[in-house]
Structure 1
Amino acid sequence: MIQLHENSIYLVDGRPEEKASIPQNEARKQTMAWQILQAHNTSGDPERLKIRFDAMVSHDITYVGIIQQARASGMKEFPIPYALTNCHNSLCAVGGTINEDDHVFGLSAAKKYGGIYVPANQSVIHSYAREELARCGAMILGSDSHTRYGALGTMAVGEGGPELAKQLLKNTWDVNMPKVVLVYMTGAPRRGVGPHDVAISLVKETFASGFVNNCVLEFCGPGIANLPIDFRNGIDVMTTETTCLSSIWETDEITRGFFETHGRPQDYAELHPGREAWYDKMITIELDKVEPMIALPFHPSNAYPIREFLANAKELLEKVEQDAARRFPKAHVKLTDKLHDGGVWADQGVIAGCSGGLFDNITEAADILRGGSTGNGEFSLNVYPTSVPVSLALTRNGATAQLLEAGAVIKPSFCGPCFGAGDVPANNGLSLRHTTRNFPNREGSKPGEGQFAAVCLMDARSIAATAANGGRITPATDMDYVAEPQPYHFDRAVYDNRIYYGFGKADPSVELVMGPNITDWPKMYPLTENLLVELAAVIHDPVTTTDELIPSGETSSYRSNPLRLAEFTLSRRVPEYVGHAKDIAAQEAERREGKLPEHLKAVLSAVGDAAALAGTTQFGSAVFANKPGDGSAREQAASCQKVLGGFANICYSYATKRYRSNCINWGILPFTIDEGTPFDYADGDCVFVPDVRRAVEEAREDIPAKVIRKDGSVEDLMLHIRGLTQDEREIILDGCLMNYYAARIAD
């Protein structure tokens, strides 16, 4: 089905080969990824890329902070098309006026700086980007981790907000030339197999080993021709869960058809690797062998063929219960009670967002449910078309009516079910979702308060099959139905009637509308000569997600208010972290005033003259995690640590480039330690890093430090900061990206 090939490979005349007639360094330049990246590279060095993007996209839990950062750094107008969508806080049901206040701010910013404003419920962020911004050979940057438009010939990257602020200030996205992995597809999917089945299978095979971490996936092969464009988009958006950097697909007449349907034929171009292209690794996907899949909590990679899951459901659900009990000791988790009457029964089905709410997915779900019923028991089915044009097309072709007749509920375009702001199940509920993630709490429960619900990822087709059986989990391949593919007709009148198209029309006279929850960033200070950090959280989970670092769901309403949002930092994983970090920050505030708190004096005395060190040593909090940063691109996973006085992270490795970049852009030192180095230190232990400012200035990658344990004993620890660019070093020295820009404006 899916095989990983560790060795490098050539693609010669469209077929994988071990040898080619040209040297490897020349064949490397024949990949689509190389050609697109170098076309956007402004550095002049093909190995050290400085990328300028063609367009950007943000949604309403990120664009306020991004614009505030850029505004504070001197931005006067948006230099490239920048779409502000409103698909995350569009419920406007939490926190009083603050969600709609953000939307009003967004429209005023689009008018002032020349942006594109997509009102609430018109489209989810990635649907709009596909429909209006993607272009063959282009590059798009988005402040959402699922920014992926490779199936449309567009290399897209999801990053934290500061990277978008850099583009608004006409700076660059800096990265070393990534490895490129060939994804070679053959065969055609069987009836009942959908894009999520392929995507979940791919994530299962690649995530745990980091096989494609920070690589570009390049999709080629004869199997592509057997996939409709929605099927390709549905696979592509899930490549984020492999932890790859970006993706790109060969284009063909089906791709051309997409652009023609959307009234943009000029944006199509043929994209193929050169005749002999070299790749660092290869993945082969035999589409005809893919089965309907289910990803169990708490990650899309925890996946099994549905038939295998059903045969071993008791054992597998017991494992989930045990994992949940370890993570959430206050919750009383019971999923094995879903086994009864000869099957495994779910309580809810959701088809939504940039992966699930696509036209073809919903049309085929309607085919499966035609003339059937979701039943009048516990099971419910909710369907969110990804944009108003898609919803309109589904209404006109009758799919909406079929779903409503069967008992489904049709809802507006909204990302909520993907991050815990819509369709929260009942306690111990089991929800099946064609959305992007099933991380802990992504369904909106609060296990720290004794609530628990579980999400399994499945394709829309198998969710519809399950719905037709009243909630009994059923692979769509077991259903006897006729799929009737419908042509998609894009009606842009709905966009013309509602969207504000302001690119190139900046009006400096427009005043930003600032609701009471929209606040400026607190003052941040440059890095001092020495650094002392106290461990405020020590997490030994294999991977720590950004959802654990700063939860999604109801916290999203506060992302325009850095101080208020920071109160939620690690709240669902290490609830005591915020109080601990605040205590440390209070001592640092005293130090800045010339006072020396007793605790700080005692710790500094363990490594030298406390009075002398106090004037040159910042004191802040730090987090240790084995491998932090998987998941969302949200910058708040780092900025909230900094707002609370965090100055460093320590880990073995960072799960994603985007989280590490977020740390750097907020002036958090991204320390690593060598794999295998024991880290048995605990909350309250301190790490002293002498001469750290000079180490950063001189680009030293190995930095000796001292650990001062709570009992006063001192131990050596070798820290590393590897691969910082000159700009990144200066950002850390200045204290954060905003300080970096402010200093240069002053100069």
Structure 2
Amino acid sequence: MVKLYDGGVYLVGGNKIVEEKDAAKVQELTGQAANKAEAKKGTIAYSILSAHNVSDNMDKLRIKFDAMTSHDITFVGIVQTAKASGMERFPIPYVLTNCHNSLCAVGGTINEDDHVFGLSAAKKYGGIYVPPHMAVIHQYMRETMAGCGRMILGSDSHTRYGALGTMAVGEGGGELVKQLLCDTYDIAYPGVVAIYLDGKPQPGVGPQDIALAIIGAVFKNGYVKNKVMEFVGPGVASMHTDYRNGVDVMTTETTCLSSIWRTDEDTKQFLTMHGRPDAYKELNPADVAYYDGMVYVDLSTVKPMIALPFHPSHTYEIDELNANLGDILREVEKTEQLIADNPQLGFSLTDKIVDGKLQVQQGIIAGCAGGTYSNIMEAAHILRNAHLGQDEFTLSVYPSSIPVYMDLVKKGAFTQLLTAGAVIKTAFCGPCFGAGDTPANNALSIRHTTRNFPNREGSKPGNGQLAAVALMDARSIAASAANGGVLTPATDFADDYVVPEYEYDDSSYRARVYQGYNAPVDGAELVYGPNIKDWPEMSPLADNILLKVCTKIMDDVTTTDELIPSGETSSYRSNPLGLAEFTLSRRDPEYVGRSKVVDKLEKARVAGKDPVELEPELSKIYAQIKEIDPSMVPAETEIGSMIYCVKPGDGSAREQAASCQRVIGGLANICREYATKRYRSNVMNWGMLPFQMKDEPNFEIGDYIYIPNAKAALDGDMNDIKAYVLGDTVKEISLYIADMTEDEKKIVKAGCLINYNRNRNKDK
């Protein structure tokens, strides 16, 4: 049972729940009247945020983190941006891992060139460099960097170490650049929602099952959006820390800001085993703590779960799905926009029903969510006397780090898996975003990974290919593998098996990981491969702006994977203009061409030329603007492209979802709401205006929108910004911008974070 409380909740003594409407009961339990303001300070989240806030105002936080981490899709751009902004050394521990582009399979030398660049950056600026195949980013941080009461910032959306007492945040690269420049992460104090765990999981139920049960309950209603999820209650103690980590990393899929858990002796044991006993301290809410909401989870009632394509919130109990296969799968086929809009793809779920059972074609256990020691040990136990068979179904297992790999070898787990017909691979994040193990066309893959958005498995609908992923726990994937790929809950195989104690051995890290924090090498220089390019110049914001609508997407949610695809495009993440060619390629293939035409107009204007010479239709547009705003000067009016999405930015933290728009002419987004804070932050850090509108968009692709006094609007009332849709007629519309910090306003005015920092350096 997962229950959402309607309104605020007091937690008394760590285990007594009092709804805010019954606040008088707090006095009955404690002898003192409820004091909401003081009780808000009783959360674990408040204690950590206040310790890292360098402002004197807890309502408007200015956070400095203890450490940071990036992988090889993001660290080149971050270092390049920070270098262009004047960075001279890494001021805090900064871990550069190589777990996303580590296959080096696409684009010749460019992936390995990025790795060489990363090592050179660690030497030049004093960083920590983890070579390819050693560890996935979040497992390395769990093993070596996370600790109770700490805060860590990562340029990957699944930066979550709450089960180790660390508040970790996944953000776009711009926010990491700010930390590298000794600036702060500025946010309003977030809401804090208690995740109250009670009971204990059934045998056969794993961390992904718990996570999917919570995601299914809170994603669609936005219950924890941009809030901190604080895990409390007696049920925490029923899970060992490795299990908790598996639940915690999936909190990203709820769209929360961060997570934090109460800590205990098991947390202490985990940190001590990893050679860091000093990283432990007990974290618990105060005797009276107030939460903005509560999710009550009776762990004993959670059954093996599955998240059907194409979102982690499309959750069902496996037993429920198996009992209603035809009805549920037909409904997914009917309502899934990608399938409905592209019937020529020929994708089907119902054709996988064979003799009344769901036959899947592939299984994957991998990454920061699935590839942990206990998950793989449980899977190996289930498969100890089984065989996958000689048909289509395959199973690949990716341990999350070399230390985990080494102990799985010692414990004999790999022998069991290999004997069953599984394939063992190295620490790699590829199965989470479509690099490696791409299924066949029209195939269904069951995966213990983090996401199952469209194309996250690597298929290309634009080329007539579509496969799909259903998320499941490693235990049920193993149970299905033991059944030859027939969907099977792990409870069918449950017994009294207890996972042997993990034995951590960091000898591989000591042999290979470059530890350069606080020790930059004199004379070290960055090593550039031919694909690594600097950011192009971006113009500062003009007083008046003219936007051309270059795409209009009316789906309920537009993910970052649709804004800039993952998979093989990752190889171009060090080349801003090269990567930008893929922007919206799987959603609106004509967008790039449209935006580049607009970019040429703006470049002509900046060069002192008349854009009308390139685009004669502008003469009519300028004439219409003159009717609205006689003072408008075309040569001083910035021209840029614009995208409209209903709710953009669900998913990855990758800044390229915004920067790719910007480098080919993007100047603004208009939407009903932003799916995540991190995507909106990326939009602003790359100098684009984050407009929103309450009304339906009464404009189409190809229309122009004129916004007078756009720059001044940032310093005024941003709740009603007048704009004008131009075309056959002129229509006035109302836009607005949600709260921005003063620095965010300055960044957008400067044209991007790089310009803002350059301007500051000039003023020094």
Describe the SS at the equivalent of 1:607. helix
How does 1:138-287 map onto structure 2 within 5 Å?
Answer: 138-287=150-299
Deviates more, 1:180-189 or 1:473-482: 473-482
- Taking the aligned partners of 2:716 and 2:434, their CA distance within structure 1 comes to 44
How does 1:475-490 map onto structure 2 within 5 Å?
Answer: 475-479=489-493, 481-490=495-504
How does 1:406-555 map onto structure 2 within 5 Å?
Answer: 406-479=420-493, 481-555=495-569
- Taking the aligned partners of 1:210 and 1:698, their CA distance within structure 2 comes to 29
Q: Give the corresponding residue for 1:725.
A: 741
- Taking the aligned partners of 1:491 and 1:28, their CA distance within structure 2 comes to 41
- Aligned partner (choices 374, 383, 403) of residue 369 of structure 1: 383
Letter in 2 for 1:167: Q
* 1:268, distance to aligned residue in structure 2 (A): 0.3
Q: Give the corresponding residue for 1:594.
A: 609
- Taking the aligned partners of 1:513 and 1:413, their CA distance within structure 2 comes to 25
* 1:596, distance to aligned residue in structure 2 (A): 3.1
How does 1:336-347 map onto structure 2 within 5 Å?
Answer: 336-347=350-361
Residues 333 and 339, structure 2, Cα contact 8 Å, conserved in 1: yes
- Taking the aligned partners of 2:217 and 2:622, their CA distance within structure 1 comes to 48
* 1:506, distance to aligned residue in structure 2 (A): 1.1
Deviations 1:678-724 (A, max 9, x none): 21321011111101111113463321111113xx2111111101211
> Does 2:648 align with 1:628?
yes
Deviations 1:318-342 (A, max 9, x none): 2333323224354111221111123
* 1:601, distance to aligned residue in structure 2 (A): 2.2
Deviations 1:613-648 (A, max 9, x none): 312211110000000000000000000000110000
Residues 610 and 635, structure 2, Cα contact 8 Å, conserved in 1: no
Residues 3 and 285, structure 1, Cα contact 8 Å, conserved in 2: yes
Q: Give the corresponding residue for 2:29.
A: none
Describe the SS at the equivalent of 1:504. coil
Which TM-score applies when normalising by structure 1? 0.98
- Aligned partner (choices 99, 103, 113) of residue 115 of structure 2: 103
- Taking the aligned partners of 2:441 and 2:332, their CA distance within structure 1 comes to 15
> Does 2:317 align with 1:298?
no
Residues 208 and 247, structure 2, Cα contact 8 Å, conserved in 1: yes
- Taking the aligned partners of 1:374 and 1:339, their CA distance within structure 2 comes to 19
How does 1:5-44 map onto structure 2 within 5 Å?
Answer: 5-14=5-14, 15-18=16-19, 19=23, 20=26, 21=32, 22-44=34-56
Q: Give the corresponding residue for 2:723.
A: 705
- Taking the aligned partners of 1:165 and 1:291, their CA distance within structure 2 comes to 42
Change over 3 Å in CA distance of 1:329–1:508 after alignment to 2:
farther
Describe the SS at the equivalent of 1:615. helix
Change over 3 Å in CA distance of 1:342–1:86 after alignment to 2:
same
Deviations 1:113-137 (A, max 9, x none): 0000000000000000100110100
Q: Give the corresponding residue for 2:709.
A: 691
* 1:507, distance to aligned residue in structure 2 (A): 2.1
Change over 3 Å in CA distance of 1:197–1:178 after alignment to 2:
same
Describe the SS at the equivalent of 2:444. strand
- Taking the aligned partners of 1:678 and 1:603, their CA distance within structure 2 comes to 23
Residues 532 and 687, structure 1, Cα contact 8 Å, conserved in 2: yes
Deviations 1:515-547 (A, max 9, x none): 000000000010001011011000000000000
- Aligned partner (choices 80, 86, 110) of residue 74 of structure 1: 86
Residues 351 and 382, structure 1, Cα contact 8 Å, conserved in 2: yes
Residues 203 and 494, structure 2, Cα contact 8 Å, conserved in 1: no
> Does 2:755 align with 1:739?
yes
Describe the SS at the equivalent of 2:611. coil
- Taking the aligned partners of 1:578 and 1:124, their CA distance within structure 2 comes to 32
Letter in 1 for 2:649: G
- Aligned partner (choices 547, 551, 561) of residue 575 of structure 2: 561
- Unaligned 5+ segments in structure 2 are 27-31
Residues 587 and 600, structure 1, Cα contact 8 Å, conserved in 2: no
Deviates more, 1:119-128 or 1:506-515: 506-515
Residues 188 and 223, structure 1, Cα contact 8 Å, conserved in 2: yes
Residues 203 and 496, structure 2, Cα contact 8 Å, conserved in 1: no
Residues 204 and 494, structure 2, Cα contact 8 Å, conserved in 1: no
Residues 42 and 52, structure 1, Cα contact 8 Å, conserved in 2: yes
Describe the SS at the equivalent of 1:697. coil
- Unaligned 5+ segments in structure 1 are none
Q: Give the corresponding residue for 1:404.
A: 418
* 1:584, distance to aligned residue in structure 2 (A): 1.1
> Does 2:648 align with 1:660?
no
How does 1:49-60 map onto structure 2 within 5 Å?
Answer: 49-60=61-72
- Taking the aligned partners of 1:566 and 1:742, their CA distance within structure 2 comes to 24
- Aligned partner (choices 672, 690, 700) of residue 670 of structure 1: 690
Letter in 1 for 2:715: E
Residues 368 and 483, structure 1, Cα contact 8 Å, conserved in 2: no
Q: Give the corresponding residue for 2:663.
A: 643
Deviates more, 1:504-513 or 1:11-20: 11-20
Residues 203 and 495, structure 2, Cα contact 8 Å, conserved in 1: no
Deviates more, 1:517-526 or 1:334-343: 334-343
How does 1:351-366 map onto structure 2 within 5 Å?
Answer: 351-366=365-380
* 1:482, distance to aligned residue in structure 2 (A): 4.4
Q: Give the corresponding residue for 2:698.
A: 680
Residues 156 and 246, structure 1, Cα contact 8 Å, conserved in 2: yes
Residues 195 and 232, structure 2, Cα contact 8 Å, conserved in 1: yes
- Taking the aligned partners of 1:455 and 1:9, their CA distance within structure 2 comes to 37
Describe the SS at the equivalent of 1:718. strand
Deviations 1:383-429 (A, max 9, x none): 00000000001000111111011110000000000000010000101
The total of aligned residue pairs comes to 743
* 1:481, distance to aligned residue in structure 2 (A): 4.2
- Taking the aligned partners of 1:210 and 1:604, their CA distance within structure 2 comes to 42
* 1:478, distance to aligned residue in structure 2 (A): 1.3
- Taking the aligned partners of 1:332 and 1:169, their CA distance within structure 2 comes to 50
* 1:436, distance to aligned residue in structure 2 (A): 0.3
Residues 178 and 216, structure 1, Cα contact 8 Å, conserved in 2: yes
Residues 367 and 484, structure 1, Cα contact 8 Å, conserved in 2: no
Deviates more, 1:633-642 or 1:326-335: 326-335
Residues 625 and 632, structure 2, Cα contact 8 Å, conserved in 1: no
Residues 196 and 234, structure 1, Cα contact 8 Å, conserved in 2: yes
- Taking the aligned partners of 1:58 and 1:306, their CA distance within structure 2 comes to 35
* 1:480, distance to aligned residue in structure 2 (A): 5.0
The runs of at least 4 consecutive aligned structure 1 residues that moved more than 4 Å come to 609-612
Which TM-score applies when normalising by structure 2? 0.96
- Taking the aligned partners of 1:547 and 1:136, their CA distance within structure 2 comes to 33
* 1:49, distance to aligned residue in structure 2 (A): 0.2
- Taking the aligned partners of 1:329 and 1:108, their CA distance within structure 2 comes to 48
Residues 699 and 724, structure 1, Cα contact 8 Å, conserved in 2: no
Deviations 1:210-267 (A, max 9, x none): 1110000010000010001111001100000000000000000110010011010010
Describe the SS at the equivalent of 2:667. strand
* 1:313, distance to aligned residue in structure 2 (A): 1.5
- Taking the aligned partners of 1:681 and 1:304, their CA distance within structure 2 comes to 39
- Taking the aligned partners of 1:87 and 1:239, their CA distance within structure 2 comes to 21
Describe the SS at the equivalent of 1:254. helix
Residues 51 and 172, structure 1, Cα contact 8 Å, conserved in 2: yes
Letter in 2 for 1:731: I
Q: Give the corresponding residue for 2:3.
A: 3
Letter in 1 for 2:598: I
- Taking the aligned partners of 1:642 and 1:729, their CA distance within structure 2 comes to 17
